[in-house]
Amino acid sequence: LIHRCSRRCFVDIVWHPSNEFFTFSDSDAFWLFNLSASEPERLLTNEVDDEGRSTNVFGGGSWAKNGRHLLLWAGATEGSSRLVFDVPTGELTGIPNSFIYVDPFRTSVTWMQDDRLLVIRGFEADQPRIELARFNHEAEQKLVVEESQLLSDEAGLIVSSGIHLENGRFGYLLTHPTDSSQ
C-alpha cells in the first residue's frame, strides 16, 4: 500500500522513463511516488465538489524522454485541456486551444523522441494542421511553435492519431465525418 485515495482514485498511473517513480491522481492531488520513498509527494492540488464531480483535476498523460516534463490533462466534468508540467520548477504551461469536451477530438498532443511536442489540430477553420513545438524556459512564451503545416485545405476533415515515427516521418489519420469512403 502506497496511498489511500481520498474519496476517489483516478486510474492514470504514468511511469517515469527511469522506472524509479510514477505519478497518479486522486480527489485531493496529483502525486509523485518514488519507489525508494515511504510516502508520495503532492505535486498539484486537485479540486472535486461535494458530489464528487471534478472541478479542476490533473491527470497523467506521458513523460518527455528528458524525464523533466510531463504532459497532463487538466479539467473538470465538463471537459479538459492539455498542459505541460515542468516537474523541477512546478511550472504549468498550457497548450493553446487544446480544450476538448466531446468527440471528435480537435487537438491531440504527443511527445516526440527529441522532447518536442507533436500537436495535431483540426479546429482552425475546420482545416487540419500539424505543429511541432518546443519549450524555451527562458522565453516569456514558454511554448514555441517551430513548424506548422496545413494537412489539407478541404474543410470538415478530422485529423487524429498523430505519431512521430522512428524513421523521422509523421503519421496521422484524416477522416471525413459524413463520408466513409474518404
For the segment 135-168, what is each residue's pLDDT rounded down to a tens digit? Answer: 887 777 788 899 998 888 777 777 777 888 888 8
Please state the rounded mean pLDDT for residues 23-37.
88
Record the cell numbers describing residue 133, joined without a space. 513545438
Cβ atoms 112, 121 nearer than 8 A:
no
Q: Which pTM does this prediction carry? A: 0.80
> What does residue 124 show for φ and ψ, rounded to 5 degrees?
-70, 105
Name the residue with cell 511541432: 132
> What does residue 117 show for φ and ψ, rounded to 5 degrees?
-105, 135
pLDDT of amino acid 142:
81
pLDDT of amino acid 55:
66
pLDDT of amino acid 153:
78
| Distance between CA atoms of residues 58 and 25, nearest Å | 7
What kind and span of H or E run contains 107? strand 107-111
Write the pLDDT tens digit of every residue in 149-158: 888 877 777 7
For the chain, what is the mean pLDDT?
A: 81
Is the dihedral angle over the CA atoms 50, 53, 56, 60 positive or is it negative? positive
Q: Can the peptide bond before residue 104 be classed as cis, meaning omega within 30 degrees of 0?
A: yes
| Distance between CA atoms of residues 171 and 98, nearest Å | 20
